[in-house]
């Protein structure tokens, strides 16, 4: 059974980044977000492929999740990789939206959730 929740959007970051974000009101833009003009998010189905494609240099990641209703009208579903619709948030992403965390570890064939380590935050 997947630790990722249906109806949730996930944001990837390093564990140390998440520790710092907990103290912030807003999630800061990454360089890619700033370049594209929106926050990149992933669905439960997309998050592991996104980790492998964009974060391959990190041995550990966390996927922080929020209900897909949290961004409200700021959320736009737009085609990206292979024409799949990805969630993009146009505007401030509040740290308080995130209430679910799934630690990920890199293995030879990509990232996998750490068994039993998901938590409500």
The predicted-structure confidence for 25-46, as pLDDT tens digits, reads as follows: 999 998 999 999 999 999 999 9
pLDDT exceeds 80 at position 110:
yes
**pLDDT classification of 22: cutoffs 50, 70, 90:** confident
20 — pLDDT class (breaks 50, 70, 90): confident
**pTM for the complete prediction?**
0.93
SS3 at position 105: strand
Helix (H/G/I), strand (E/B), else coil: 2: coil
pLDDT band, residue 67 (cuts 50/70/90)? very high
Confirm or reject CATH 3.40.50.300 for domain 8-115, answering yes or no. Answer: no
- What lies within 8 Å, CB to CB, of 31 at 6+ separation is none
- Mean pLDDT across 9-16: 94
Nearest residue to 94 via CA among 21, 7, 43, 18: 21
Q: How confident is the model at residue 50 (pLDDT cuts 50, 70, 90)?
A: very high
């Amino acid at each position: 059974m997947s630790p990722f929740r249906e109806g949730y959007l996930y944001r990837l970051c390093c564990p140390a980044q998440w520790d710092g974000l907990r103290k912030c009101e807003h999630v800061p833009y990454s360089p890619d977000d700033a370049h594209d003009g929106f926050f990149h998010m992933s669905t439960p189905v997309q998050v592991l492929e996104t980790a492998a494609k964009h974060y391959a240099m990190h041995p550990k990641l966390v996927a922080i999740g929020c209900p897909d209703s949290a961004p409200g009208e700021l959320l736009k579903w737009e085609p990206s990789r292979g024409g799949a619709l990805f969630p993009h948030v146009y505007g401030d992403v509040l740290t308080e939206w995130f209430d679910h965390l799934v630690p990920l570890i890199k293995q030879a064939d990509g990232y996998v959730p750490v068994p039993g380590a998901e938590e409500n935050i």
